[in-house]
Structure 1
């Protein structure tokens, strides 16, 4: 399956075939198990009673707070009336993939579990749409910019690890067999703020030129700028957010963060629909891709 995503003035076909990663595979497994339980017209309490479990165990499994063993998975499949061997093998495959070790697990001592979960979803997304009113998105940052930004907000002991994490996020996404579509909409304030100027005056202009090179060198990446001349817009109230899309029936995901606080919503939550509408409204205020890149280069030149 492929998605068509609006990235600027064109539509780009995106896919994430066989590259979802354990977090996405785990979410798919939970979604499938819930669907099967509902098709069997069973409540969580009824399942727990029939399997002689505490109800809390099934709640934790369906909520993603614990994994499911092969024995328990087979028991659930039998109770839900799964008679097709292919369906059962699909569930086992998802479970194996969900329990596999991810590259980002090595950073578990440096960032929160909530943020690592988001990175896991990001790693398997088919499309990434992000609005940023204050800072360059992590997926576009140079190491020098990231170091300056992280240095202002965290202990030096883990600075290098956090910068490395951002670098690996960029590399793994762009080296996937089929990269995701990435659309970044930035307020003009993002490119005007001279991050790092007290350390090295070249950090910000170098960062801006890097963004242009990335966008010009990859058809799956688009950058749009909302100019000051547009006046006020809904993004000024909404704040930074990211929308992820998947090509496997998982639905859409909304991620918002404020400092160390992370919120990730998946599925049919109405807040996702509202933020999606806000993103389209912000995008309508933005310059087109060519004008946006020209403004970024003009800004870089003014800083030099």
Structure 2
């Protein structure tokens, strides 16, 4: 299977089909009328709310004037990949569909940029830190599955043939808050040393800290967010979450460019990677 995964492949297929429809000068209503479909069927297909069968895909290709066998085979391959089972599908009963959709996009990203003002990003968390952070919000079984999903996200991303670039910008509050101190004083310093080790071992992972001495910065108002980029021509994606609420924006939504500009502004306030690792390790030592 393509390392981009079924969610990204499905998004690429929908984008290509929408482009072909527009190039053919057809509206959704006209396509539905010619194929004797309900318009809602095409809306669901282009919006990603339903899959598409091989028969329907071939019908669309013929209607859109696709005569190049290579292009048609590319569309069929995207469709087969989009309909394949993903590793995260085993968690569909444990977390929301919206969150799993984000996990699918993340799995196929080429660049991951994230700002976190309060907590260590999930892709950098140890099991103990993840368990402690979510402990008060869910029962034991749900907690076990959430932590398992988080660890698998880390593992599968970094075992890809070409891992993504991961750039994390954290407020200093993230590395100073002693998460888990009432349970085990070693949880937070261990977490900090883990973060430093991950960054030191991979040239594709960068952790930057915005120090307290910077004062106020735009991230304090923006809150946590993640930006994903893809090497497949798919547009940039913005993901924000607050508890169980997840918002994922794709395409040309103007909020994406606004948040990207904010990320660059926050990055400009951060220490460089070497200084950031020094601060992280100093914070760990102070907790021991």
For normalisation by structure 2, the TM-score amounts to 0.99
2:149 corresponds to: 165
1:100 aligns to 2:81 (yes or no): no
1:284 aligns to 2:268 (yes or no): yes
Q: How far is 1:18 from its partner?
A: 3.5
Which of 137, 144, 149 aligns to 2:121? It is 137
2:254 corresponds to: 270
Q: How far is 1:115 from its partner?
A: 0.3
Q: Which runs of 4+ in 1 moved over 4 A?
A: none
Mapping for residues 97-246 of structure 1, pairs under 5 Å: 97-246=81-230
Measured in 2, the distance between the counterparts of 1:157 and 1:93 equals: 37
Are the counterparts in 1 of residues 134 and 143 from structure 2 also a CA contact under 8 Å?
Answer: yes
Whose helix proportion is higher, 1 or 2? 2
Measured in 2, the distance between the counterparts of 1:282 and 1:105 equals: 35
Measured in 2, the distance between the counterparts of 1:112 and 1:61 equals: 21
Q: How far is 1:157 from its partner?
A: 2.2
Q: How far is 1:152 from its partner?
A: 2.2
Which of 47, 58, 63 aligns to 2:47? It is 63
Q: How far is 1:274 from its partner?
A: 0.2
| 1:160-184 deviation per Cα after TM superposition (whole angstroms, max 9, x unaligned) | 1110100000000000001000000
* Bigger relative contact order (CA 8 A; separation at least 6): 1
Are the counterparts in 1 of residues 2 and 81 from structure 2 also a CA contact under 8 Å?
Answer: no
Which of 248, 267, 291 aligns to 2:232? It is 248
For normalisation by structure 1, the TM-score amounts to 0.94
Q: Count residues in correspondence.
A: 288
Measured in 2, the distance between the counterparts of 1:237 and 1:154 equals: 28
Are the counterparts in 1 of residues 227 and 260 from structure 2 also a CA contact under 8 Å?
Answer: yes
SS of residue matched to 1:194: coil
Q: How far is 1:154 from its partner?
A: 1.6
Residue segments in structure 2 that go unaligned for 5+ positions in a row: none
Measured in 2, the distance between the counterparts of 1:154 and 1:32 equals: 40
Measured in 1, the distance between the counterparts of 2:90 and 2:2 equals: 22
SS of residue matched to 1:22: helix
Measured in 1, the distance between the counterparts of 2:121 and 2:212 equals: 19
1:14 corresponds to: none
